[in-house]
Each structure stands twice: as structure tokens, then as C-alpha cells.
Structure 1
Amino acid sequence: MNQEVMSSKTSVQHTTTRSKSNATQGAEMRKPREAPPCAPQTVALLTPLGTLRLDACENGVHAIRILMDVAPAERNDEAPPRCRVVNGGPAERIPEMRRCVEWLQAYFGDRHSTGSLPPPPAFHHPALRADTFTSRVLHTLFNNIKIGETVSYKRLAEMAGNPAAARAVGGAVRRNPIPLIIPCHRVIWSSGQSGPYMSGRGDRLKQWLLAHERTTDTRRTPIVSKSPSSIERVVDRTADPRPNEAQADRYTK
């Protein structure tokens, strides 16, 4: 009798173990497989700003890095500045990389091509895919502030949904992984002063970019102040720089 009871208990234990094992295997099978990590490749581009390094994968552009290896070139409308690949190789064949190169070549080209830029590449940097204030600021800047236009930190904070976050906007701009295409150089003080760029190392570069865009944008219209509820592309030129905006410029890209 005792042997029968022990045999029955053993059978139940084996059945329970098999059930747990099957459940575990089923859960593992149902678990979605993670996408393989990106393998960004790099292209070097010689521009009027010096060398740019572009990082991109098949899904989109990860970063544009301004190396600051030379001073910005003199603008000459009769001879548009050159923008050419100096170190590409297989990376040039990545579709989103090609789109990034073509966009930058048009941006640094003559005024006609700059006035009608090709579609920008897709973005694939984690900071731009996350649901964060930084991502919202950068997408708002990209979607709304066009060539020949500028916006203050305060106004950009309003447009991004947090009027009190001018300083946080400065931090978001500092973390911009794709400058030029996401135009952090167009974020200025409320007074109209350009403010620092790249922690003060790129002040001349920022002024060059703003002057380049004023020269090349033939569609530009006067910029006027709008009400806070508006989401027009504007710059507030009436107010003095606020302390939080000055602090924000410490973080400017």
C-alpha cells in the first residue's frame, strides 16, 4: 500500500515538473525576439565648416559630428562652397547615408538648391526614438524651425509643451546628435543675440550658419512675435534675455 502511495506521489511530481517545463518553454517561445543591434558605418564629408563625420545604419542616421578642424570658410555666392565625401567606401551605399550626404550637399550648395532641400534622412539615434522631453524638443525644432528662421529657448519650450522649461530646452539642444539637419544653431536668445554654440567653441560657426541661411533662403519673410498659443515659427525679439535662457546657453550644441 505504501509503495502504491509513493508511486502515485512520484507520478504527480513528474507530471508537475513536465507541466512547468512546458509552460516555461512556451513562455520563451512567445517572448518576442529582440532586434539585432545596429552596425553604424561612418562617412567623412569635407564642408565649409571643416570635416563632418556621419554615422548611419540601414535604419537611419545616428549622428553628425562637427570636428571643428578648420575655421568656417568665407561665403562666396559666385563660387558655392564645396561639400564632398573624402572617406566613404561601402558606407556610401547605405540609402539613408546617401540621403544624408545629398541633403548636406544641397544645404551647403547655391541658394537655389538650399531653397528646395531634398527630403532629409531617417533618424535612428536612441535619443530621438525615446518618449522624453529631449526627443519632443528636438522633433519640434526639426519640424517647425526652417531655414532663415530662429526661435528663442523660451518659445521653443512653449512649443514643446512646457513653457517653464527654457533651461531644459538648453539641455535638450546640447544633446542633439544630428546638428545641422536638426537645427540647434537656430535657437537663440530672446533679445535676438545668437548666443554661444558648442559650449562657446563654435560661436563663429553658429554665426556663419545663420548668415549662410539668411543669404540662401530666398523664401524668407519677416519674422514677427506670435501669441504663446501659436505654433508658428517665430523669434521673440522684444524681450530681454532671461536668466534661465542665459543658463541654457551653457548647454547649447
Structure 2
Amino acid sequence: MCEISSSICSSPIGDLTISYCRKGLHSISQISPINDQSFIPDEKQTIEIQSSSGKIPIPESCLNWLHTYFHSPNHLTKTPELCPNIISKNDSFQENVWRTLLNNVHFGQTTTYGQLAELTGNKNAARAVGTAVHRNPFQLIVPCHRVIRSNGDIGNYAGKEGNNVKHWLLKHEQK
């Protein structure tokens, strides 16, 4: 069992909520009220802890990664540790999709649901890949925003509520 702590941090795409334990991150996502209507990016916004709860301090590796992603992306290094209780080494299809996305689709690249299915070793599983991507608890770190439709459309990010965020993230990665 993990002892979970959480923090809210500011970022250029709005406040992020980050949950973690001593073993690594459990989740990272935008605060729920952020959607296409309320999304106002601020590229100058720094990564700052707004509040924290729990006994464990937020991993510095996470804060450093977020700062680098938004402000010095050419210097991105190793991703923060992800808790093995969330993304284990077992053969779960969903976790395999997350690991494949994390390890094979790099900053500034995109892939399609079908290509990602093929990378996972199951070329006919594009819809299942879409489900796994939708369930990704590690926004930005496991880059589900880099998965697009085969016709070039961006698809639906955050249940259709975050397509402006996805557009901004893809544009940010093309700079």
C-alpha cells in the first residue's frame, strides 16, 4: 500500500494536481475546471507549488521535469519515477500502451492510434489503444497528447474538453 501525498502546482497550461508516494508518481493532470472554454495558457507561468497535503514532499524530479518541459524543452532528461503500483512491469495491455508511448513517441513527434497499436505488438488494437490513452493518469509525462487520428485530426483530448490544450501542447513541442 502506498502512502499518497499530493500537490497542486502552477504551470503554463493551468494548475496541475500531482499525486505521489515514496516510490514515484501516481498521477498528474490539470485541475478539472480547465477546459476549452476556460483554457488560457501563459507561457511565462513558472512551475510553483500552490499547496500540498500529506507527509511526503513532491519529488524534485517531477518539478524539474515540468519546468524543463515548459521552459527549456531541448534539455528534457529522464522522466520522473512512476510508481510501480500504478505502472508495473506486468503484461497489462493498458500499461504496455503507456510504456510504449513514454519510450517511443518523443518530444515534437506524433503517432496515430493505429501506429501505437502496432508499436505495442497488436496492430489491430487501435480502439483499445484509444481507451488506454484515455485512461492515462500521467498527463504530459506519458504523452497521450501526441496521439492523433490516422486522418491527421487531433482526436478528442480529455473527453473532448481539452482539445485547445492538446493543440497548444503540440504547437509548444514544435517550437
Above 0.5 in TM-score? Answer: yes
Q: Which runs of 5+ in 1 are unaligned?
A: 1-36, 216-253
Q: In the alignment, which of 105, 118, 122 is matched to residue 158 of structure 1?
A: 118
Match of residue 38 from structure 1: 2
> Percent identity between the aligned chains?
36
SS at match of 2:45: coil
1:29 matched residue in structure 2: none
Say whether the 8 Å CA contact 1:43–1:54 is kept in structure 2: yes
Counterpart of 1:116 (choices 64, 75, 86) is: 75
Q: Measure the CA separation in 1 of the matches of 2:53 and 2:155.
A: 38
Aligned ranges 1:54-69 → 2 under 5 Å:
54-67=18-31, 68-69=33-34
Q: Between Structure 1 and Structure 2, how many residues are aligned?
A: 170
> Is 1:42–1:56's contact at 8 Å kept on the other side of the alignment?
yes
Tell whether the 8 Å contact from 1:47 to 1:84 is kept in structure 2 after alignment: yes
Displacement of 1:118: 3.2
Residues 1:202 and 2:166 aligned together: no
Query: Where do 5+ consecutive residues of structure 2 fail to align?
Result: none
More helix by share: 1
TM-score, normalised via structure 2 length: 0.90
Question: 1:136 corresponds to which letter in structure 2?
Answer: N
Q: Within 1, Cα distance between the matches of 2:120 and 2:79?
A: 21
In structure 2, which of residues 61, 64, 88 is the aligned counterpart of residue 99 of structure 1? 61
Task: Report if aligned partners of 2:6, 2:53 keep a CA contact under 8 Å in 1.
Answer: no
User: 2:160 aligns to what SS in structure 1?
Assistant: coil
Q: Which residue of 2 aligns with 1:71?
A: 39
Q: For residue 93 of structure 1, give the secondary structure of its aligned residue in structure 2.
A: coil
Q: Do the aligned residues in 2 keep the contact of 1:127 with 1:134 (CA within 8 Å)?
A: no
Q: 3-state DSSP class of the match of 1:61?
A: strand
Q: Distance in 2 between matches of 1:156 and 1:104?
A: 24
Q: What are the superposed Cα offsets for residues 48-69 of structure 1, whole Å, 9 maximum, x if unpaired?
A: 2111011111101011121144
Q: Distance in 2 between the 1:89 and 1:41 partners? A: 6
User: Deviations for 1:75-100, whole angstroms, at most 9, x for unmatched residues?
Assistant: 4xxxx432211113776735xx2111
TM-score, structure 1 length as denominator? 0.63
Equivalent AA in structure 1 for residue 174 of structure 2: R
Query: Bigger shift: 37-46 or 123-132?
Result: 123-132
Asked if the contact 2:134–2:158 (Cα under 8 Å) also holds between the matched residues in 1, the reply is yes
* Structure possessing the higher radius of gyration over alpha carbons: 1
Matching residue's letter, 2:116: L
**1:1-253 matched pairs, under 5 angstroms:** 37-67=1-31, 68-69=33-34, 70-75=38-43, 80-88=44-52, 93-94=57-58, 97-109=59-71, 113-124=72-83, 126-129=85-88, 130-215=90-175
**Aligned partners of 1:105 and 1:88: how far apart in 2?**
18
Q: Return the alpha-carbon distance in structure 1 between the equivalents of residues 155 and 166 of structure 2.
A: 9
Q: Report 1 or 2 for greater relative contact order, CA contacts < 8 Å, sequence distance ≥ 6.
A: 2
User: What amino acid is aligned across from residue 203 of structure 1 in structure 2?
Assistant: N
Work out the CA distance in 2 between the residues paired with 1:126 and 1:92.
Answer: 17
